[in-house]
Amino acid sequence: MNLHGQQLLDSIKYLPCLRSRQAEVKGYMQLSPIAKASLHPLISIGKFGRLTQTSKVLEAIQAKIGGCFVDLNMVSDQSCDDLAEVTNPENHYLNWRELVRGYPGLTPAAIIDSDGSERAFIRQVVEIEAEYNTVLIRTKKPSIDLGFLKAALAAVADVNSVFIVLDFGYIRGALETKIVEARRVITALRETEPSARIAVVSSSFPKSVAAYGDGQASLEIIDREFHTQLGGDEVAIYGDHSAIYPEPFEPMISRWVPRIDYCTEYSWFYARRRDDDGGYVECARRIVSLEDWDVEFARANWGADIILQTANTGVVPSGFGAPANWIAARVNMHIERQLSVSFPDEADAVDPYDLDDLM
């Protein structure tokens, strides 16, 4: 999306949040040109393959994703090696701001430290607003950070340049509790500033699907229900974790079972088959036999097309003999589907050839 400042913020109807993980980045890279032209994602910068320095990861994201918001992945085993240096709060988080400045097209999110100095946070917000004419503030602790958010709204030169992202993490099994918290936080922010620009982000993709059925099953995308219960687009912009489980967890060494996921607008379907029971080929054939399989979507979408190829040829494509690229396919399908929900009228979507008219 080749827009800037408030014009960029005004155009955002869906905020996909991803990490700098190879599967997630690949899934985004394979989106259609029109989809990419309609999006300005939020990418959490952490280790990316063998890249462990923040500057190198920013360089890779700039090349692979293009224009986007960037924040920092703080999870210990995922964060970059120089995280402590980059997040130093001295001079209003100058290290972070100067680092991102070297990568045009990337916009730094304000670092928010619940236990840190509110003054350093506010000065950082003001500095980012002055340089980029927009400032994104993402909190994964909306209730705890509410005071910081209200202070930011009061401190900026123009409240329309502030984009507050309330990230409620994993919500499956906790929907009602999350709704209550979200309503309380949004109400408090709107009492401070009625026109506050807010996105609500969540994920209901589970850590493991095996608990929902060993062979195949479907899962409702509760993220959309969450957004709707809060009042939909009239209240907040919809965002999600791009069909990724959002919470840190300790990986376990175990033998994985081949699985393929398929995304519609409001559901995820999956099929699991062990190698001695057909593996990925049988998974693909099960998926394309679903009543919800969309042939037209498969013709236009990279992830769905890979499933169709596998089912039709009986051959697993190169690189798809392990889970990573199938995760990329899921991310790819999910973002395209959610974009279609956020832009129900195709005429509202951004045409990449008309971007000059919007600048």
Rounded to whole angstroms, the Cα distance separating 226 from 201 reads: 9
Rounded to whole angstroms, the Cα distance separating 1 from 321 reads: 33
Rounded to whole angstroms, the Cα distance separating 152 from 174 reads: 29
The reply to whether the predicted model has a pTM over 0.85 is: yes
Q: Identify the pLDDT of residue 254.
A: 67
Q: Which amino acid is at 179?
A: I
Give strand ranges (E) for 221-283: 237-240, 259-263, 267-272
Token pair for 332: 């790819």
Quickly count: other Cβ atoms within 10 Å of residue 20's Cβ. Answer: 25
In a domain, 297, yes or no: no
Q: Identify the pLDDT of residue 213.
A: 86
In a domain, 188, yes or no: yes
Looking from the CA of 80 toward its CB, the CA atoms found within 13 Å total 24
In a domain, 94, yes or no: yes
In a domain, 273, yes or no: no
∠ CA 243-246-247, nearest 5°, is 150
Helix, strand, or coil here: 352? helix
Quickly count: other Cβ atoms within 10 Å of residue 139's Cβ. Answer: 21
Q: Identify the pLDDT of residue 357.
A: 33
Give the H/E segment covering residue 169: strand 162-170
Q: Which amino acid is at 136?
A: L
In a domain, 172, yes or no: yes
In a domain, 302, yes or no: no
Taking the chain (359 residues) in consecutive chunks of 10 residues, what is each chunk's mean pLDDT? 87 98 98 96 98 99 98 96 98 98 98 96 98 98 98 97 98 98 98 97 95 92 98 98 90 81 98 95 98 97 99 98 97 98 65 35
- Residue found under tokens 């190879």: 22
Q: Identify the pLDDT of residue 2.
A: 74
The answer to whether the beta carbons of residues 134 and 161 sit under 8 Å apart is: yes
Which domain, by its residues, includes 74? 5-250
**Kind of pairing between the strands at 267-272 and 216-220:** antiparallel
Token pair for 107: 């916009």
What is the CATH number for 134?
A: 3.20.20
Q: Identify the pLDDT of residue 114.
A: 94
In a domain, 321, yes or no: no
CA nearest 7: which of 141, 197, 258? 197
Question: Which residues does 139 contact at the CB level (< 8 Å), separation at least 6?
Answer: 112, 145, 148, 149, 164, 165, 166, 167
* Number of domains forming the structure of the chain: 1
Q: Identify the pLDDT of residue 248.
A: 85
Q: Which amino acid is at 359?
A: M
The answer to whether the beta carbons of residues 117 and 92 sit under 8 Å apart is: no
Rounded to whole angstroms, the Cα distance separating 113 from 91 reads: 15
Q: Across the strands, what pairs with 256?
A: none
Helix, strand, or coil here: 308? helix
Q: Across the strands, what pairs with 15?
A: 239
In a domain, 46, yes or no: yes
